[in-house]
Amino acid sequence: MPESPARTAARILIETESVLFRPDDPFTFTSGRKSPVYVDCRRLISFPEARSTLMAMMADQIRGAVDVKTIDAVAGGETAGIPFAAWIADRLALPMIYIRKKPKGFGRNARIEGVIREGDTIVLIEDLATDGGSKLSFIDGIREAGAECAHTFVVFHYGIFPDGIKKLNDAGVELHGLTTWWDVLECAEKEKFFDKPTIEKVAVFLEDPDAWTPG
């Protein structure tokens, strides 16, 4: 049986060391949240074969979810989403734009670079999604420009913060991810990328991240 895209993506992230398990020395996010796991999809830009495989799978995912003929442009969010949006735009032969986190404050004071027109249909491409907050900000930027955005595609979706999915759904946006922490955990366990105690400690976090504490 062919390997699923989710499993392939999970293996690529592990092999490129784009996902890290560190339950005994947890990471600290900007929110202050402690986490035994961390994902850095920015590393993927340095792995041509890996990123090509991932972008081929994402392009297929987009074709399966959206009629590409109805898409006017592919958008990337500043900064991590920009290279992924560029690769996808190239694969789908579509225009590309990118969205700043806020207007640059000089010149045209633009928040969106590239050509975007009122009524355009845009798909947002990002590297990953945690709770969906940054996606909503970028989507607001697209909509403020008079365009429409109902889909966002990411390489990695945490898959452990249902409130984030609800917020996106409430805003009329569907989130699509190639792989999640659950896929990574299953791949790591079955293929013995990490030892069993590490897997078990990480599983405790994934099952209830809000209650998790180091130790």
Q: Decide: 122 and 100 in contact? Cβ < 8 Å.
A: no
Helix (H) or strand (E) run with residue 144 in it: helix 133-144
- Tell me how many helices (H) and strands (E) the chain has: 7, 10
pLDDT grade for 2, boundaries at 50, 70 and 90 = confident
Which residues are CB-neighbours of 182 under 8 A, at least 6 positions away? Answer: 159, 206
Q: Who wins on pLDDT, 108 or 180?
A: 180
DSSP string covering 20-65: EE-TTS-EE-TTS-EESEEE-GGGGGG-HHHHHHHHHHHHHHHHHH
pLDDT higher than 80, residue 170: yes
What integer is the mean pLDDT of 173-182?
95
| 3-state SS, one letter per residue, for 168-197 | HHHCCCEEEEEEEHHHHHHHHHHCCCCCHH
**Token pair recorded at residue 126:** 């990002």
pLDDT above 90: percentage of residues in the chain: 69
pLDDT grade for 143, boundaries at 50, 70 and 90 = very high
**Token pair recorded at residue 109:** 């004071």
Find which of 7-16, 21-30, 202-211 is predicted with most confidence, using mean pLDDT: 7-16
What integer is the mean pLDDT of 158-172?
88
Domains in the chain, start-ordered, CATH in brackets?
5-207 (3.40.50.2020)
What does the pLDDT read at residue 165? 86
d(CA 52, CA 56): 6
Average pLDDT of the residues of the chain = 91
Q: Which amino acid is at 199?
A: I
CA 71 to chain centre: 19
Alpha-carbon Rg of the chain, whole angstroms?
18
pLDDT tens for each residue of 38-77: 999 999 999 999 999 999 999 999 999 999 999 999 999 9
Query: Which residues are paired to 176 by β-bridges?
Result: 153
Peptide bond into 8 cis (omega under 30): no
What does the pLDDT read at residue 10? 96
pLDDT tens for each residue of 73-103: 999 999 999 999 999 999 999 999 999 988 7
d(CA 104, CA 116): 17
pLDDT higher than 90, residue 123: yes
